[in-house]
Homo-oligomer: A and B are copies of this chain.
Amino acid sequence: MNSTKDSLFSNHEDIKKLLEIAYELNDIEKIGAVLGWDQETYMPKGGITGRANQLSTLAGIHHEKLTSDRLINAIDRASMTLGEANVYDRSLVRELRRIYDQAVKLPVEFVKRQTEVFSRADQSWQEAKEKSDFRLFADDLKEIVELVRKQAEYFGFTDSPYDALLDIYEPGLTSRKAAEIFKQVKVITGNILEKIEKSEVTINQDFLKRTGLSKKKQWDFGIDILKVMEFDFERGRQDESAHPFSTNFHPHDVRVTTRFTDPFFTSSLFGTIHEGGHGIYEQNVDERLARTVLCEGASLGIHESQSRFWENYVGRSLSFWALCYPELRKTFKRRLKNVSVNDFWRAINAVNPSYTRVEADEVTYNLHVLLRFEIEKDLIEGKIEVEDLPEIWNAKMKEYLGIVPPNDELGVLQDIHWSGGAFGYFPTYTMGNLYAAQMYYTIREKIPGMDAYIAEGNVKFITEFLIKNIYRYGKTFMPDEIILRLTGESLNPEYFEKYLEEKYSKVYKW
């Protein structure tokens, strides 16, 4: 039994049989998530060998069940009865077929080879990053690019092999569509940066960079902020990990993590809010979707839209800090003595080009993704070579951001994704930013006086709106459908432009 409530799925025998298999498959995935969470939070150093074996055994079991005749037969049977089906049945069949197809298209030997190479590359990337020497990673990366191209072939594509990869992370996204979007984003960003450059406002960020803040005070404040966002600690928790992440084992068991960095805030606090955004999304998927492939965020892009919405549209707004700043100031009395809420708000919104994506402000952030998108596409299409990457990287940094990283660590080696073969993943970051902007204007339209509500501490109405329109459906709707249903139009980057203009004209006073 999945839940005491009525099922969202129809009562057809073929759907019920399919659900039985779907539940088992999803349980196995969630078990893997528990193992992963433990590995990143509490597992002692010595545990790594055993954990690798456990994960590998579990992956084998999952793959066997996912590619079984039992599953595909049940999918096929259920497909034939879709005439009587509801939207949940249809989406269930669609998503199960999708993961089945992906799984059977890759030969077992190929998957094993991937696992080996990724595991080796994870080590060599780490070493290369530590020593800031791209050459230590180059050979493994070459092999990965070959594997990823091969994977694209297995999956199949029409225009570019990169399309097959984009589709893994953001169903429906193509190179052509992404290129159009990035073209717009580039213009938008350029315009805003020009205005900022002309501004005579100078923003003091020194007080954000002071070191030695009490970890406990930061932790407690972060927990309070998560509560403001309506993150439910009866159905989730926060722990520490080297890199913040969110994961879930059930809508009622969602785990987010944070880390503490000296100096202050930019990483820790906004990391907490960001993961909290992912977390409340997962906490509020309808529990009747639990144990199925539909019980998770609609796509990486839609997921990121929520983390970024909470981090930036709420978390870096003046009204949010009108609410939370008094408490923050009380917590860090000495440090924030002479800092007004306006000073603070300006400081957390200052725009400065940075070497790394994760430290980027809202305006320059997408340039990091654009750069990565162009490089990935050229690499997968065979237009550039792995050994030339540092040079190409630095040239593009110079062109788009006007700065050149002093070394590979802060340049081409900054992100982990490539070592795990995650090509096609980065564009979802920008998709998330754009979705978030478009949603933001819909919410403001539907809930007049939203800023005042936030300032009063009544953040609940935003969460409830998002639950009602996005969260509860999980993966029932495709990314495109979600944005269309919610905002009345397809993805439109102009909302992002409007948002940047509106916000930064206040920050930089033009």
Contacts and interface: CB of A to CB of B under 8 A. Distances in A.
Interface stretch (A82-90, A249-257, A309-317, A386-394): A249-257
Contacts of A31: 31, 35, 54, 57-58
Interface string A217-234: 000000000000000111
Given A27-B57, A35-B34, A57-B27, A44 B234 contact: yes
Interface in A138-197: none
A410 interface: no
Interface in A32-53: 34-35, 38, 42-47, 49-51, 53
A24 interface: yes
A51 to B, nearest CB: 7
Given A46-B236, A234-B45, A54 B252 contact: no
B27 A253 contact: no
B27 A237 contact: no
A53 B290 CA distance: 10
Contacts of A2: 53
Contact of A237 (B3, B24, B42): B42
A235 interface: yes
A291 to B, nearest CB: 6
Given A47-B250, A54-B249, A58-B31, A239 B23 contact: no
Contacts of A339: none
A329 interface: no
Contacts of A42: 42, 237, 239
Copies of this chain, complex-wide, total 2
A51 B291 contact: no
A360 interface: no
Contacts of A233: 44
Given A38-B34, A38-B38, A27 B44 contact: no
A322 to B, nearest CB: 31
A503 interface: no
Given A31-B58, A57-B28, A49 B239 contact: no
B27 A250 contact: no
B290 A50 contact: yes
Contacts of A384: none
A236 B43 CA distance: 8
A235 B54 contact: no
A54 B35 contact: no
A25 to B, nearest CB: 9
A259 interface: no
A57 B65 CA distance: 12
Nearest to A248: B50
Q: Interface majority SS on A: helix, strand, loop or mixed?
A: helix
A46 B42 CA distance: 20
A63 interface: no
Size category of the binding interface on chain A = 35 or more
Contact of A24 (B46, B49, B57, B291): B57
Contacts of A234: 44-46
B290 A44 contact: no
A94 interface: no
Contacts of A236: 44, 46
Interface in A370-405: none
A30 interface: yes
B237 A44 contact: yes
Given A249-B47, A253-B44, A53 B23 contact: yes
A447 interface: no
A67 to B, nearest CB: 16
Interface in A236-277: 236-237, 239, 249-250, 252-253
A56 B31 CA distance: 11
Nearest to A252: B46
Given A24-B57, A44-B233, A54-B249, 14 more contacts: A27-B53, A27-B57, A30-B54, A31-B35, A34-B38, A34-B54, A45-B235, A46-B234, A46-B252, A47-B250, A49-B252, A50-B290, A51-B250, A61-B61
Interface of A: 2-3, 23-24, 27-28, 30-31, 34-35, 38, 42-47, 49-51, 53-54, 56-58, 60-61, 232-237, 239, 249-250, 252-253, 290-291
20 contacts: A24-B57, A24-B60, A27-B57, A28-B57, A28-B61, A31-B57, A34-B34, A34-B38, A34-B54, A44-B252, A46-B234, A46-B250, A46-B252, A46-B253, A47-B235, A47-B252, A47-B253, A49-B250, A50-B253, A53-B291
